[in-house]
Homo-oligomer: A and B are copies of this chain.
Amino acid sequence: MDDSVSQYSFIVRLHDTDAAGRLFFGHLFRHAQDAFESFMAHLGWPIPDLIQRGEWLLPVIHAEADYQRPIHHGELIWVEVGVEEIRRRSFALAYWFRKEDGTETAQARTVHILMSAVGEKDLALPEALRLALARHLKDAAVGVSCARAHPDAQS
């Protein structure tokens, strides 16, 4: 993600897969975190500095993912990150996982809340962070709404 948030990608490694021959669903969140950290660094808010300074944190209070197609060992996956929602003290990011040919394989969403290192929760996001995030707001929310959480809605 050197010059564009859409540049983040990874290759699916053996440890990402399981005996069913596909990416283990939980490991997707590890890659989402990698994309998140790249995104925040791109915004000028590197997470490692944040944690090392020890003043406040941006813990995940909600995470979710939809898995549309199996992801296999050796595949190159591109991750696009966008801001879905910005609130007073929290924000939601959306992640689109696509294969090289553009096929969407999964989507994820994380909600981060501003918290002081001592656990204080009623903090507003710094204006500068809110502005940085606002530049990446997406029109459409990522497709992990409750409605789409159950693809066989007709079943």
Contacts and interface: CB of A to CB of B under 8 A. Distances in A.
Interface of A: 11-15, 17-22, 24-27, 29-30, 32-34, 37-38, 46-49, 51-52, 57, 59-68, 70, 72-74, 85, 87-90, 92, 110-111, 113, 119, 144-146, 149-152, 155
A3 to B, nearest CB: 16
Given A63-B64, A64-B64, 14 more contacts: A11-B34, A12-B48, A13-B33, A14-B47, A18-B18, A19-B21, A29-B29, A37-B74, A52-B74, A61-B68, A64-B149, A87-B155, A90-B155, A92-B150
A61 B18 contact: no
Select the residue from A20, A52, A61 with max chain B CB neighbours within 10 A.
A20
B65 A62 contact: yes
Contacts of A29: 25-26, 29
Select the residue from A15, A66, A68 with max chain B CB neighbours within 10 A.
A15
B155 A22 contact: no
Is chain A's binding surface mostly helix, strand, loop or mixed? mixed
Contacts of A151: 61, 90, 113
Contacts of A74: 37, 46-49, 52
A124 to B, nearest CB: 8
A113 to B, nearest CB: 7
Contact of A33 (B15, B46, B110, B155): B15
B19 A26 contact: no
